[in-house]
Structure 1
Amino acid sequence: MQTRSKSGIFKPKVSYTTQVDYNLTEPTSYTTASKHPQWCTVMNEEFQALQKQGTWTLVPQPPSKNIVGYKWVYKLKYNSDGTIARHKARLVAKGFHQQYGVDFDETFSPIVKPPTVRLILSIAVSLNWSLRQLDVKKCILAWDTQIRAPRAWFESFTSQLLRLGFIASTADSSLFIYKHEKIIAYLLLYVDDIVLTNNTPSYLDHLITQLPIVFDLKDLGLLHYFLGLQVTRSSTRLNLNQAKYAHNLLKKHNMLDSKPAKSPSCPNTRLSLHEGDPLPDPHGYRSLVGALHYLTFTRPDISFSVYQVCQYMSTPTAIHLAVAKRILRCIKGTLHHGIAFTPSPIQLSAYTDANWAGDPDDRRSTSGYLVYLGSNPITWSAKKQPTISRSSTKSEYRVLAIASAELCWIHTLLKDLGIYLSHTPILWCDNVSTLVIASNPVFHARTKHIEVDFHFVRDRVLRKDLIVKFVSTIDQLVDIFTKSTHSSLSRSSTQSHGLCPCD
């Protein structure tokens, strides 16, 4: 058989290549990045900074020692409107080549808690303090054989703040407080992102000029975009939302053109472990649910729905995925919703509720609470209780104890900040039996089934550390944290009480 190849005839292959603009795309290798001036510039800045900080020392290879490799990692940083803010390059060690206990010990770097962030923002608004933002350009320090870079960075930065007169909060190790005469300043640290607020603008300017002497910092001006949170401030309020984060999440899961839903979940529905066909690849479900969980930072209205889908991460089904996508459809219609902080008296209050035996699989109850500082929501939770409650009173009393512990922690945090409450914190509950147990100092045999450690609620009531009061079911604000509610009730519970105002 005569063929073209035997006759020496070859048809040229036509190939099609896509031209990628690496000014707008993150390169995946050094070979690609080295061909573009923008990435070469930031790589050179990174290398010079590492040499300046004495990150390494060249020595002969020790015998029988593990050599840790390195690679370049590239990242584009965006503004809140989606435009590119800057290019970043990091020279990172291949930590997966290390062995715990041989090459390293502690790796954990403390980060500020979300309730602490919301608390500081609320206080700054109530006291009319300015909020400034700093970014650490290089946070890799000299290598320590006992501590890896993130931990070393946190300890080094903490030591410098202590020299400047700051003290670390006992309630949150990533919150630092400065007090001298009439000057008060608070500093929040989340890895290499810093938020500053104080009552004396001149001292704030002085501090911002002092910190770069030790660390390579960049002053980003007034707080506007922090940890994916978009911050807008007016003379009367501070709005906090995650519109850009939510938009990217919708785009990632191809939901930008989906029909908006009126509520994050169907009313009076309960998910079960055994409903629906198992997903062939649960990775996408886990990624979606994990991303939704971070969105609850400014969206308390979706907390219960996200808590529900979080329970099925190990073996998700098609029904669970449909519920998770309904949450995305709800977000699509409320993209710019978030929370708003307004000036208000600094006093604590909390609402608690429980959905007794609400889980159809194990009959555990769901706890829900919401804590306010003045009129501003600070922390909230929707979570399944760890054990089964034999009565609704027990489930209600359990969540009352959980909320009491959260109030105690916030009270300690306020004391660290030098803020003392003029009124006793109030716990609002809609269960009469629970109120009787919390207020009555006489122990009855019928309450023996309630664990002893939860009786600290009653002790604190007797010590006047908190007050427990009754709230009617109509005025209960935390129904949206314990059960699926109708769309009209959900909107009333969020918008009327300032949980999820429009942009």
Structure 2
Amino acid sequence: MGLLKGKVLDFSEIFAPVVKMQSIRVVLGLVDALGLEVEQMDVKTAFLHGDLHEEIYMEQPDGFQEKGKEDYVYKLVKSLCVFFRNFSDGDFIILLLYVDDMLIAGKDISRIKELKNTLSESFAMNDLGEARKILGIEIVRDRNEKKLYLSQEKYVEKVLRRFGMDKAKVVSISLASHFKFSHPLCPSTNEEKLSMKSIPYSSAVGSLMYVMVCTRPDISHAMRVVSRYLSNPERHHWEVVKWVMRYLRGSSNLRLTLGCKKLMLVGYTDSDLAGSLDDRKSTSGYMVTFAGGAVAWQSKFQKCVALSTTKAEFIASVEATKELLWLRKYNGTWSQTRKICLVCDNQSAIHLSKNSPFHSRSKHIDVRYHWIRDALDSKLMELEKIHTYDNGSDMLMKVLSWGKFEFCAR
């Protein structure tokens, strides 16, 4: 890109070149939808946050624009992790790099091989051929069915063996309603705290968090809950962690499925109301699907206390919109996404998002959350109603019955 008026800002302090799991899932969804080839390479000499010797400038990303300096650009001093190259004939190549793991996707296998040869001239690399595994995630591609699967079955089984849960009794949902959570339940005496020293609570939670982040949104709610007590867990919390492992023992073969020719970005959002017993904050949850599969999800406490279901759902919709528009801008570089839509099961929150006139019942809602109206007015996305039972994001913020949970996971 060209320099804007010759004005440059240093971007090194606020940008870390970390590729999100969303990037990997979106690219692999595109690979399957467009029938692209995807090859893998391994860098023998790993490098992280590599310094650049060339002068490269980039536009200020959303959320990092400096007020009054919107026409400035950033000088990039650290290497990025996702690279694109467009060719004059409409072809393109995508390169994903995380430390020493590399995926290269494109239509023309000869161009991919040419890039691999060029990289090998500058770095010591291993050519691993067709992509089979990335960051411990197995990639299984069924070209006949036009499906691509991401699996962590072997990793899950390894975790279960490590914590002695590989022969535990199986349960059918990731979290049950009889578990209660609040800080007063945490150990308060030295004797109680010492009794937990021998329990590998933090290690187990960390191992399960990696599963949730990569391929298993169905344990998001449970992991959000147990991770709150990492500094001072109680045996009750450890029972919840073991419950999650019991659930994974019976579902370790579940795979994240991608595969659909319709390049649509659809976000599902939902919230509970005052679910936290400690401070009565609500939980926002969203899930974004692309090319037929889930590519982004989040379960997170809201920063303020919602006074109504409408406000809680409205805040959740704003958070989902941010992720949706980030993915929209990401996709715009190399794909023609047909439709971008956010669905919500609360009609009042939808009306509040679409109607800008001031209302006394909404005056307590922080101004920053009304940003969603600008996105809708600018036609960047659509906001639609969905029936509660059809909302797949329900499992991200509350305990569900087996039938609804099974539907959300499917």
Task: Name the TM-score, length of structure 1 as normaliser.
Answer: 0.70
Larger radius of gyration: 1
Q: What's 2:6 paired with?
A: none
Task: Pick from 180, 191, 200 the counterpart of residue 284 of structure 1.
Answer: 200
AA partner of residue 396 (structure 2): F
Q: Cα 1:390–1:282, aligned 2, differ >3 Å: closer, same or farther?
A: farther
The equivalent position to 1:422 in structure 2, one of 338, 350, 367, is 338
Change (3 A) 1:335 1:395: same
Residue 303 of structure 1, CA deviation: 0.7
Corresponding residue of 1:440: 355
Query: Any idea what the Cα deviations from partners look like across 1:466-486, whole Å, max 9, x if unmatched?
Result: 211111112111110110112
- Asked if the contact 1:111–1:189 (Cα under 8 Å) also holds between the matched residues in 2, the reply is no
AA matched with 2:406: R
CA distance in 2, matches of 1:205, 1:134: 11
Which string of whole-angstrom CA distances, capped at 9 and with x for unpartnered residues, describes residues 9-45 of structure 1?
Answer: xxxxxxxxxxxxxxxxxxxxxxxxxxxxxxxxxxxxx
What is aligned with 2:92? Answer: 184
The residue identity in structure 2 corresponding to 1:114 is M
Quote the residue 2:386 is aligned against.
471
Distance in 1 between residues matched to 2:350 and 2:60, nearest whole Å: 33
Q: What is the aligned residue count? A: 371
What is the deviation of 1:252? 1.1
| Pair 264,279 (structure 1): closer, same or farther in 2 beyond 3 Å | farther
Q: Distance in 2 between matches of 1:322 and 1:279?
A: 16
Distance 1:169 1:220, change over 3 A: farther
1:250 aligns with 2:160: yes
Is contact 1:258–1:329 with CA below 8 Å preserved after alignment?
A: yes
- For 1:371, give the aligned amino acid: V
Q: 2:136 corresponds to which residue? A: 228
Structure 1 residues 6-155: aligned runs within 5 Å: 110-139=17-46, 150-151=48-49, 154-155=50-51
CA distance in 1, matches of 2:178, 2:373: 33
Distance 2:54 2:39 in 1: 21
2:184 partner SS: coil
SS in structure 2 at match of 1:329:
helix
Shift of 1:462: 1.6
Given that residues 168 and 177 in structure 1 are in contact (C-alpha distance below 8 angstroms), is that contact kept between their aligned partners in structure 2? no
* 2:289 paired with 1:372: yes
Q: State how far apart, in whole Å, the 2-side matches of 1:359 and 1:461 are.
A: 31
Structure 2 counterpart of 1:401 = 318
Matched, 1:450 2:365: yes
Q: In the alignment, residue 375 of structure 1 is paired with which amino acid?
A: G
CA distance in 2, matches of 1:130, 1:283: 46
Shift of 1:374: 3.7
Q: Which residue of 1 aligns with 2:184?
A: 274
Distance in 2 (alpha carbons) for counterparts of 1:283 and 1:209: 49
Deviation per residue, 1:212-260 (Å, 9 max, x gap):
1000010111111110101111112111011121111111111111111
| Distance (Å, rounded) in 2 between the aligned partners of 1:270 and 1:173 | 43
1:59 corresponds in structure 2 to: none
Task: Provide, for residues 94-131 of structure 1, a one-character-per-residue CA deviation record: whole Å limited to 9, x for no partner.
Answer: xxxxxxxxxxx99x962310111100000010000111
Aligned to 2:9: none
- Given the alignment, which residue of 107, 112, 116 partners 1:208? 116
Aligned residues of 1:279 and 1:318 also touching (Cα < 8 A):
no
Specify which of 150, 162, 166 is matched with residue 240 of structure 1. Answer: 150
> Aligned partners of 2:276, 2:296: CA distance in 1, in Å?
24
Output the amino acid matched with 1:493. C
Q: 1:284 to 1:188 in 2, by over 3 A?
A: same
Q: How far has the Cα of 1:170 moved from its partner? A: 6.2
Question: Structure 1 residues 170 and 456 mapped into 2: Cα distance closer, same or farther (>3 Å)?
Answer: closer
Match of 1:198 in 2: 106
What CA distance in whole angstroms lies between the structure 1 residues aligned with 2:83 and 2:179? 44
* In the alignment, structure 1 residue 389 sits paired with structure 2 residue 306: yes
Change (3 A) 1:115 1:430: same
What amino acid maps onto 1:191 in structure 2?
A: V
CA pair 324-471 structure 1, distance change in 2 beyond 3 A: same
- Match of 1:194, SS? strand
The residue type equivalent to 2:32 in the other structure is V
Deviation, structure 1 residue 168: 11
| 3-state DSSP of counterpart to 1:313 | coil
| CA deviation after TM superposition for structure 1 residue 169, in Å | 11
SS of the aligned residue for 2:168 comes to: coil
Structure 2 distance, partners of 1:159, 1:352, is 42
Cα 1:115–1:214 change in 2 (3 A) is: same
Aligned equivalent of 1:307? 224
Q: TM-score under structure 2 normalisation?
A: 0.85
Shift of 1:387: 1.5
Q: Are 2:209 and 1:293 equivalent residues in the alignment?
A: yes
Q: Distance in 2 between matches of 1:260 and 1:251?
A: 14
| Mapped partners of 1:109, 1:474: distance in 2 | 39
For 1:139 and 1:293, locate their aligned partners in 2 and report how far apart those are by CA, in whole Å. 25
Q: Greater shift after overlay, 371-380 or 271-280? A: 271-280
Partner AA of 1:420 in structure 2? Q
Q: Distance in 2 between matches of 1:410 and 1:276?
A: 39
Quick one: distance in 2 between partners of 1:389 and 1:268? 25
In the alignment, the residues of structure 1 paired with residue 405 and residue 54 of structure 2 have an alpha-carbon distance, to the nearest angstrom, of 47
* Residue 269 (structure 1) shift: 4.2
Q: Paired residue for 1:18? A: none
Partner Cα distance (2:372, 2:342) in 1:
10
Is contact 1:122–1:341 with CA below 8 Å preserved after alignment? yes
Contact 1:349 1:374 in 2 (8 A): no
